[in-house]
Structure 1
Amino acid sequence: MKLVLFDVDGTLIDSQNIIVAAQHAAFAAFGLEPPSREASLSIVGLSLAEAFTVLVGPKAPIDGLVQAYKDAFGTLRQDPAHAEPLFPGAEDCLGWLSRREDALLGIATGKSRRGVAHLLDRHGWHAVFTTIQTADDAPSKPHPAMILQAMEEVGAAPHETVMIGDSSYDMEMARAAGVLPIGVSWGFQPVAALNEAGASRIVNSYDELDQVLRNFLDHPSQPAA
């Protein structure tokens, strides 16, 4: 069995608008100047505390900003204007992968367990993912703990595992865990950042990712020397 791990924000779902809006609301709650959209999206993938520390520094009211972000996110989620659509092709990709008898699917995300549970309910994904690793379960990316825990949970070796994500944190995490890092170009960070972080391959669509994953699953993987 091979393990295919997915990041969520920027990889499976297009959540950029709600993330930026929730960040702005959190900054406004403390009278702080909000970051640029580019800066807001550059930290997606980190745990919330780590993300706000990067944006404003450790002396800022990090715990307060995190709670204000969570409160704003929960409110904005009720507004159709802040929907979090799946990227084109994501649902079909998860569909055929979940029907393979030689593949297990997992999530490795900076979201909380509560945030992931909402997505599982919304998209009917409860039977799709065998392992789910969140910001509540491990240190923030790019620490490799999420991937290491996922592999241990399902019994997969590093050479049998692939990590798919849109951020440098995903690529660095994959490299640190010794698994294959695949970057997607449609996410929240520039392709150059993924390459610099060690992506083995960058795909430009889910059709292209499907082909890469079929090749990964259909051919024997060799342990690293």
Structure 2
Amino acid sequence: MSRALPWAVLLDLDGCLIDSAAATRTTLAAVASCATGRRLQADALPDDALHRPRTTVLAELGVRDPEEAVARWWEGAWAGTSPAALFPGIPAALARLREAGARLGIVTAQDRLPARLMIPPALDPLIETAVTRQDAPAKPRPDGLHTALARLGIAPTRAIMVGDSPRDMTAARTAGVQAAAAAWGWSTTAALQEAGAQQVLPDPDSLATLTPPE
């Protein structure tokens, strides 16, 4: 009897596993406030603040050196927000993927400390590796996906990337990985399909329906 080939599912963190929209907007506002000396509320951020790089948003808010501001204040501001919660159904769906033989990893644009704070203990037995922006250039570059797959020992052709942003879809296609859209996240289904999504998952429970790439 031939053994089944190993496969992997890589997952974005924000907007895919974790409902972190409010915490992210609050952190952006706090960093901008610290950098400009003007108090800014989260509801004053642009509507599309979650869809663009944080440094771009901060620059539009008047921050002169967004990279320096992020390095100086982001982790502390994030740690002061209310904890972000898992989307309902995530632990059970990931457990079913593991039962189906999938190796699981996270590829996120978050820094290491916020990522560590965000990933709850319930996911520790399920997630085998987490790649942050300190480990590889952020998406849409494919480097983070390749780093995660190298750690897992899985070829790109045997992997699926699940994400909720066009950057996730672009990174997946560039990396040679199947792209699956998380329709419950921050972007519209149309935007994700335009960016190259090959399948659309309507809700977190549908993660359990993923099958190994052919």
Give the shorter-chain TM-score range. 0.7 to 0.9
Question: Could you state the TM-score of these two structures normalised by the residue count of structure 2?
Answer: 0.85
The match for 2:30 is: 25
Return closer, same or farther for 1:144/1:54 CA change in 2, 3 Å cut-off.
Answer: farther
Return closer, same or farther for 1:167/1:104 CA change in 2, 3 Å cut-off.
Answer: same
Contact 2:165/2:187 (<8 A) preserved: yes
Q: SS state of the match for residue 189, structure 1? A: coil
The match for 1:131 is: 129
The match for 2:66 is: 62
Q: SS state of the match for residue 124, structure 1? A: helix
Most deviating of 197-206 and 65-74? 65-74
The superposition leaves residues 99-140 of structure 1 with CA deviations (integer Å, 9 ceiling, x where unpaired) of 33x2100000111222222234x3333332222211110011
The match for 1:85 is: 85
Return closer, same or farther for 1:189/1:28 CA change in 2, 3 Å cut-off.
Answer: same
**Aligned equivalents of 1:141 and 1:174: distance in 2?**
9
Q: 1:106-121 counterparts in 2 under 5 A?
A: 106-120=105-119
**Aligned equivalents of 2:20 and 2:63: distance in 1?**
28
- The alignment yields a C-alpha RMSD, in angstroms, of 2.2
**Aligned equivalents of 1:108 and 1:204: distance in 2?**
20
- Segments of structure 1 that go 5 or more residues without pairing to the other structure are 44-49, 77-81
**Aligned equivalents of 1:196 and 1:93: distance in 2?**
26
TM-fit CA distance, 1:23 = 0.7
Q: SS state of the match for residue 167, structure 2? A: helix
Q: SS state of the match for residue 5, structure 1? A: strand
Return closer, same or farther for 1:74/1:88 CA change in 2, 3 Å cut-off.
Answer: same
The superposition leaves residues 15-42 of structure 1 with CA deviations (integer Å, 9 ceiling, x where unpaired) of 1111101111111121467763522211
Percent identity (aligned): 32
Contact 1:109/1:134 (<8 A) preserved: yes
The match for 1:41 is: 50
Q: 1:1-225 counterparts in 2 under 5 A?
A: 1-29=6-34, 30-31=36-37, 36-43=45-52, 51-53=54-56, 55-56=58-59, 60-66=64-70, 67-76=72-81, 82-100=82-100, 102-120=101-119, 122-211=120-209, 213=210, 216-217=211-212, 221-222=213-214
Contact 1:53/1:60 (<8 A) preserved: no
TM-fit CA distance, 1:55 = 4.6
Most deviating of 67-76 and 165-174? 67-76
Aligned length: 203
TM-fit CA distance, 1:188 = 1.2
* Counterpart residue type for residue 59 of structure 2: V
The superposition leaves residues 125-184 of structure 1 with CA deviations (integer Å, 9 ceiling, x where unpaired) of 333222221111001110000111122222211221000000011000000001100011
**Aligned equivalents of 1:182 and 1:129: distance in 2?**
18
- Segments of structure 2 that go 5 or more residues without pairing to the other structure are 1-5
* Counterpart residue type for residue 143 of structure 2: A
